[in-house]
Structure 1
Amino acid sequence: MNCNRARELLANYRDIQKERAAILPELDAHLEVCSACRQIQQQSDFIGASVRSLPTLSSAPEAHAKLMRALAAEHTRYIQRATSSELSTPTPAFLKPYLKDIVAEEKHLEPLTTFSSAETGPLPVIPITRKRPRLARMGPTTIVGIAAAVLMLIMAGGISSLVLMAQMNNGKPAIGGEQANVTRGASLSVANIAVQTSYPHVVSALADRNTMYFSAYQDGSDPAWMLEQVHLNTNNDASITPIPLLDKPTTSNVYLLENVQNWLIWLQLDKPKTTTGKPLDTQNSSLTRTWSLDALYVGSGDTKANKNDLPGEKNEASANQPITLLKGLYDQNTVPAWINSPLQGTSTYQNNLLVSWLDNQGTSHLTRYQLDAQQVPTSEELAHVNAGHVLASPTASSDGRSIYWGEEWATNDNILHSNIWQSQEEEAAPEHGRWAPHIETVRSLFKNDEASFHPHVVGDTLFMLSTLPLDAPNQTNKPSPIITTGSQTPVASLTPSAAKSTPVLTPSVTTGQDETPITQPTQAPLIAKSDPNAYPLQADAMIQGTLFGYQLSDTTLAPQQFGDEGQSMALQGGNRFLLWQNKNKSINMFDVLTNNQVGVGTQIPANTLFLSIHGDTAVWLIPPDSNANTTQPANTVTFKTFNWPTKIVSPNN
């Protein structure tokens, strides 16, 4: 089932559940794997619950009498205008008492009206001289129908107004330059998941409400790495045994990145290569190593992606076996000195994967992959940039019509800069030679202040960090966009002005003998997405700034500020919430749908090793020596996790 069909069915989800329609299992299966459709369902549930919680509307006691009198007056005028042949139908019985009242109050009414309201029914009528223009004729049934429709519209308008006011108060963040004033909501409900594995050193993990995946390695002279899967509905056991996802362990480092539509995505880094025959010192030498971006379909059924038909890939892969989306050679000599990885960010929407990566020559690319279990994955380049500039942190709206990413570079003074680009799909007006309306992709600079980092879309809000002070003149002014359309690709200026930016980072630099200087960022008090001891942090990961949110419906409005000035870092987002870290390593959480801050408190401790978010679920790990349970079996790893919202409310509840 695709998203279009699922969203048609969601409109009648309550009826489908009540009737236990045959399509229900297929629809529920799609909702489990599609975060975009699940978000639409949650929004529908929220609106439905809001409507059902409204007080029952009742009309005023005198409303019915006023309506009947109005209908009686209209019927009186109808009788006066009609001919005798049109009055063969008796006056409706429910109007007769009100016609009598009108006769009693208005003694000047013509006798014809009085006779028509008598108990014997209408009498033959003598045509009278009409004193007003002849109007269109309507029968009694039509009149009653129109009046009833007007009443229904009035009642529906009242309900709609109440729902809109509820949405305005509880739904989306208010827009304005002021700091967000939000009501603290419910706290998290954290669960422990004990997993017994022979690969005890976990470096990355992803989870949803039903399943958790993690990458880990075991000790040895040549450490062995493995991807493993855990079904969370078995967590009643004292310790869960995971399922390996690779045919055999690998000696390459494995870092989980994304899980989209049952496709598991990870980065695989091979051992560093050296030409000197001596062990490579990664702290003082240039890194040269092969890498690949791999995918594995973990859903039920076979996949037809049996052959890597992507450029440069010719190897065969059997059903439900890993396939290679992208591979290359990472050479420290060709990339900027502050870069530590060939990948600079990933994100997903629907069945699409966005990846920013560096090729062998140091050119940075933004590529979109479309993943389908029944088709070979396809790729499309959205942007590229070179000469020391790097594309990073791609993100997109749930429908993919708005895509954002950062463009980063460092100046000679070791100061990191960044602008934000956007790609928008818009309905273009008909033009000469092309009369039919069509969709046009427009790419432009969204923020060119050289101090905006880490764009992240959650719901209908675009979040980002700014390293400018709040009183900077260009903080709230959107720059004039540089428009590129069609097949053109935005290429950054090669000589950015350093005078506009505020210094945000001065990383330490270590230099080996006869080697290119390498920027090695010092360890920051940061909770990373992967274990920083295994996957080194990059310079931009430690950026601290002021967190702002822009409404996607109108990004020209002044942004909303979250948290204290210059204290926020390490943004991560789910389907409806954003998690970020303060400079002191405490965690903040904001629910975009309800416009509420969520209480985290000490649920996520400062010594957390890594934390990652996927959809509705966050999972993290704390160092084993800090676990309170010292009696757990050997090689047992205890994960921490929470779902938000804690429970998805069924439409029948």
Structure 2
Amino acid sequence: MNCEQARTMLSVYRELKDGEFDTTELDVHLERCASCRQALARDTFVGDQLRALPVIEPPPDMHAKLMRALASEHLQFMQKAAPGTVSTPEFLKPYLHEHAQSTHQSNLFSAFSTAETGPLPLIHAKRKGRPRSHMSNFVVLGLAAMFLMVLMMGGLISLLLLAQGSARGVAHIATSGGASINHPIEIQQTFYKTTTSYQHVGSAVADRDNIYYSAYGDGTDSSWMLLQLNRATETSTPLLNTPSNGPLVILGSSPAWIVWLQYDNPIVQPYRNLPNVPQHLDVASWSVRYLSLTQLATTGTPARPTILLKGTFDPSTAPYWVHAPIQGVWFTHNMLLLAMLDKSGIGRLFAYQLDLVGKPVATQVATADTGHIFTSPTANSDGSQLFWGDEWMSDTGFLNSNIWTQQETNASNALYPTHGRWAGHPAKITQQELFRSDGMSFRPQIADDTLFWLSTATTSTSANGTPTTSGSPGVSTPQPSTSIIPRTDTGIYAPPLDATVRGQVFMQPLYSDTLTPPVSLNNNGLAFSLQVGTDFALWQGDKGYEMYDVPSQVDVSVGHILDNATFLAVNGNAAAWVVNNASSNTKPSASVLPTASVFAFNWPK
């Protein structure tokens, strides 16, 4: 299916959904084509705003009044026309008869006529002098209806211009009368409370149907478990046959897989008393494992976890400002991108092809220089464009970062044969280059084929990464007034140092006819802790959280629902967070079953 066929089906998308037509081919095209997906989101946004407008209901007697006015006008027209040239519509005959009976003026010429036969022809005397203007009831109603249509069309045109424009902010519909209608877009949180002996949640991710979380119970020798919380029934199901002695940290999930980090040896210090940024004093062995969610959904029983990667984190060989072996993961199609540090402290970026039957196939994408690490791997929808951060600490103690990219393109016609077996099969060329080389670009992430990143430069830089003004590294900016909320509980897993970097959020579409310059999103102070979902970006600011919807290109109101969160994890089209209070850390009595509490929201709703 091409874009023209897809746009034709999108014009009747609601009718196709209501009529239960097969839209599989259209859905597959929407997953590949960002422009058609953006057109659907724009049309859906306009339709929702139109349906939110107040319904205009005419008075009950408007139809009868309109018919009487039409009957009066038709009667006058028949009196002026030649006999037999004008016929009377069937729907006006009852009102003509009623009009003839209700008139108080005696008309000798029409006294012997009926509504069925029509009036007799009249011979009017030539009127002397200037005729007086007369406006009938029908004309008045017509002018009123025309004025109402102008008002409605003016509001509709303003709404369409708003949806097509690139202006950001809360949806604002201007009317011709100078008034305005505001329709703020807000997220809606949902609270889940489930009964489980693993009541202390350390990490979590969510989708529309389930929340996957790792938690541990009470006691000095408490063990860890990976669980699935059904959002409809609020019941938790363990996903592991045996609990783990070491902490479990969920790294991310897709519709088919969930990946987590598992420490083989437990942390010696108590979990609740760890500092915000714990220092690993000993060598820690770890493994990255994954589990099939497809088999879990079809059979109802968890599959056996598969070890993706094993390693050892040695603080003596790793950079002094790095406290964790895994620096980020990203799912695209059936591929997993993973940035990590090996035993020697070398940063590496791998691409894994996950398989339910065979062993995962690993491909090393890049290796970092000495003293550098790779962070925040991300990719577009088809995996042809990869981006990742390259961070290092300067001699003056400032954290710096560039953004690398790997582009996969077709070779030119001169590089592959035009005849024979391989004709028509162009070779793929993979190129790696610096996307931004200013040393002030952090945390690249892609939402709806749009690249987001955090820049500590004072002004915007060009698309090729050449800075136009001087900036300062993220650690040199002033501290924000709000506390930074990490992706996982800091008492379990140390957050990366770039989570504290503060600057401006920039975005740039990956697919466009012309090279568009980056656009700054946050205008109210500094931003930090940038995370993205499938179609949105979310970050902290000096005045709370801010959110941006990519398909509709509007801001989303977050409010204060995340102010007391212990951690927040955005994953796909949902986000999950935990609010720990004093009561959640106290041991319940024997008569009260232990419970775990998690918050979540979906976007789009």
User: TM-score normalized by structure 1?
Assistant: 0.62
Counterpart in 1 of 2:595?
636
Amino acid at match of 1:227: L
1:255 aligns with 2:249: yes
Aligned to 2:463: 478
Q: Cα gap change, 1:284/1:49 in structure 2, threshold over 3 Å: closer, same or farther? A: closer
Deviations 1:18-37 (A, max 9, x none): 7767x88x999x99xx9958
Q: Secondary structure of the equivalent of 1:505?
A: helix
Aligned to 1:69: none
- Alignment correspondent of 1:609: 566
Structure 2 residue 456 is the aligned partner of structure 1 residue 456: no
1:291 aligns with 2:290: no
Report 1:166-245 matches (<5 A).
Answer: 169-170=162-163, 173=166, 183=171, 185-234=184-233, 240-245=234-239
Alignment correspondent of 2:353: 370
Tell me the residue number matched to 1:339: 322
Check 1:609–1:529 CA distance in 2 against 1; reply closer, same or farther (3 A cut): same
1:622 and 2:579 are equivalent in the alignment:
yes
1:421 maps onto 2:404 in alignment: yes
Separation (CA, whole Å) in 1 of partners of 2:360 and 2:427: 26
Q: Tell me the CA shift for residue 412 of structure 1.
A: 2.2
Per the alignment, residue 361 of structure 1 pairs with 344
Q: What's the secondary structure of 1:202's corresponding residue?
A: strand
In 2, are the aligned partners of 1:227 and 1:244 still within 8 Å (CA)?
Answer: yes
CA drift at 1:525: 1.7
Of 553, 557, 566, 2:511 maps to 553
**Partner Cα separation in structure 2 for residue 428 and residue 385 of structure 1:** 27
**Bigger relative CO (Cα 8 Å, ≥ 6 apart):** 1
Partner Cα distance (1:292, 1:224) in 2: 17
Percent of residue pairs bearing the same amino acid type: 31
Aligned runs of 1:507-518 on 2, under 5 Å?
none
Amino acid at match of 1:456: Q
* Count of residues in Structure 1 that have an aligned counterpart in Structure 2: 462
1:228-272 C-alpha deviation (Å, 9 max, x unpaired): 1111121xxxxx441111101111110111112321110112326
Quote the offset at 1:220 in angstroms.
2.4
Which secondary structure state, in structure 1, belongs to the residue aligned with residue 192 of structure 2?
strand
Aligned AA for 1:249? P
Q: CA deviation at 1:461?
A: 1.9
How many Å apart are 1:358 and its aligned residue?
0.7
Q: Residue 575 of structure 1 aligns with which residue?
A: 534
The 2-side partners of 1:522 and 1:46 are apart by: 34
Of 455-464 and 522-531, more deviation after overlay is shown by 522-531
Range that drifts further, 525-534 or 435-444: 435-444
Query: In the superposition, relative to structure 1, how do residues 185 and 351 fare at CA in structure 2: closer, same or farther (>3 Å)?
Result: farther
* 1:569-624, Cα deviation, whole Å (9 max, x unpaired): 0111111111100135x11111111111111111222x210111122211111113
2 CA distance for matches of 1:38 and 1:216?
Answer: 39
Quickly say closer, same or farther: Cα 1:48–1:438, change in 2 above 3 A.
Answer: farther
Show the counterpart of 2:117.
none
Whole-Å separation in 2 of the counterparts to 1:523 and 1:363: 35
Q: What does residue 472 of structure 2 align with?
A: 502
Deviates more, 1:430-439 or 1:530-539: 430-439
How far apart are residue 44 of structure 1 and its match? 6.8
In the alignment, which residue of structure 2 is the partner of 1:593? 551
Task: State the AA in 2 paired with 1:504.
Answer: G
Query: Displacement of 1:202 after TM fit?
Result: 0.3
RMSD: 4.3
Q: Partner amino acid for 2:490?
A: P
Shift of 1:415: 0.7
Q: Give 1:402's aligned amino acid.
A: Q
Structure 1 counterpart of 2:401, one-letter code? S
Residue 566 of structure 1 deviates from its aligned partner by 5.9
Cα distance change on mapping 1:36 and 1:293 into 2, 3 Å: farther
More off after superposition, 366-375 vs 294-303? 294-303
Unaligned runs of 5+ in 1: 1-6, 56-162, 175-179, 235-239, 275-279, 304-317, 482-496, 508-520, 647-653
In 1, Cα distance between the equivalents of 2:19 and 2:44? Answer: 20
Change (3 A) 1:165 1:429: farther
Cα distance in 2 between the residues matched to 1:446 and 1:415: 21
Q: TM-score, normalised by structure 2?
A: 0.67
Change (3 A) 1:223 1:478: same
Query: Separation in 2 of the partners of 1:52 and 1:284?
Result: 53
Q: Secondary structure at the match of 1:553?
A: coil
The 5 Å alignment of 1:4-403 reads: 36=31, 45-46=40-41, 49=44, 169-170=162-163, 173=166, 183=171, 185-234=184-233, 240-271=234-265, 286-300=281-295, 320-373=303-356, 375-403=358-386
Q: Distance in 1 between matches of 2:390 and 2:289?
A: 25
Whole-Å separation in 1 of the counterparts to 2:302 and 2:239: 13
Q: Secondary structure at the match of 2:232?
A: helix
User: CA separation of 1:455/1:376 partners in 2, compared to 1, >3 Å: closer, same or farther?
Assistant: same
- Distance (whole Å) between structure 1 residues aligned to residue 351 and residue 578 of structure 2: 30
1:171 to 1:366, Cα distance in 2 relative to 1, 3 A? farther
Distance 1:319 1:228, change over 3 A: closer
Q: 1:588 to 1:18 in 2, by over 3 A?
A: closer
Q: Which amino acid aligns with 2:289?
A: D
**DSSP-derived class of the 2:316 partner:** helix
Q: Distance in 2 between matches of 1:210 and 1:348?
A: 19
Map Cα deviations across residues 273-297 of structure 1 (whole Å, 9 max, x no partner): 99xxxxx999666431111110011
The one-letter amino acid of 1:623's match is: N
Report the Cα offset of residue 164 of structure 1. 13
CA–CA distance in structure 2, aligned partners of residues 49 and 618 of structure 1: 22
Amino acid in structure 1 at the alignment position of 2:393: A
Q: Deviations over 1:129-150 (max 9, x none)?
A: xxxxxxxxxxxxxxxxxxxxxx
- Give me the whole-angstrom Cα distance separating, in 2, the residues matched to 1:419 and 1:220: 44
